[in-house]
A = this chain, B = another copy of it.
Amino acid sequence: MNTYPISRYPVPNLNDLPGDIRARILEVQEKSGFIPNVFLTLAHRPDEFRAFFAYHDALLEKQGGLTKAEREMIVVATSGANQCHYCVIAHGAILRIRAKNPLVADQVAINYRKADITPRQRAMLDFALKVAQESHAINQADFEALHAVAFSDEDIWDIGAIAAFFALSNRMANMIAMRPNDEFHLLGRVPKGA
């Protein structure tokens, strides 16, 4: 295990955290086998931590017109454009797992236009990148392009809101130099039981 710092800011000790935050973190650890660094590093600010994960869960864990793998594709594509270590590497792992595809995360992170995805997913990522990079120019034609591949207005809100939320998340991670856990690099690359 390396000893690189995981944040520019102090990282709280689990035992010093408010109960609700500690509980949330222990739950994640139980499920993942390790504590993703985003939990420890953002816990430096408990109120912001709570709002951040409430927002995250509202967008990434919900049911709807997008699969969970598609939601992660949006994260990986926009985080690649924003050059965010944490989000590309951590959510790349989640994308591999949710899509059951060991290749797609690297592809989407580097250049989603050439990834092994459907034309509908390609349209989804075109819009997500527009939200990420030039939201001032979004117009009715963008909505129509998504309607044409059977996304509803509520789906479009989901796509855009995920891109917008990671506009925040990428900037926080870049500002505090959040480091992804080493484990993420390999997760989802090798079939279980292989």
Interface set of A (CB-CB < 8 Å, partner B):
2, 4, 8-9, 44-45, 47-48, 50-52, 54-55, 58-59, 80, 82-85, 88-89, 102-103, 106-107, 109-111, 113-114, 116, 131-132, 135-139, 143, 153, 156-157, 160-161, 163-165, 167-172, 174-177, 182, 185-186, 189-190
Contact = CB atoms under 8 A, between A and B. Distances in A.
Nearest to A174: B135
20 contacts: A8-B143, A8-B153, A9-B157, A50-B54, A51-B54, A52-B55, A83-B110, A89-B106, A113-B139, A132-B171, A135-B171, A138-B174, A138-B175, A161-B172, A163-B171, A164-B167, A164-B169, A164-B175, A185-B189, A186-B190
Q: Which 8 A-B pairs have the closest CB atoms?
A: A83-B136, A51-B55, A164-B171, A135-B174, A51-B54, A47-B58, A168-B168, A83-B111
Contacts of A113: 136-137, 139
Given A52-B55, A111-B83, A131 B164 contact: no
A36 to B, nearest CB: 16
Contacts of A102: 185-186
A28 B161 CA distance: 24
A103 B55 CA distance: 30
| Number of chain copies forming the complex | 6
Given A58-B48, A58-B51, A175-B160, A135 B82 contact: yes
Contacts of A55: 48, 51-52, 55
Given A102-B185, A106-B89, A131 B54 contact: no
B136 A111 contact: yes
B172 A164 contact: yes
Given A48-B161, A171-B163, A136 B59 contact: no
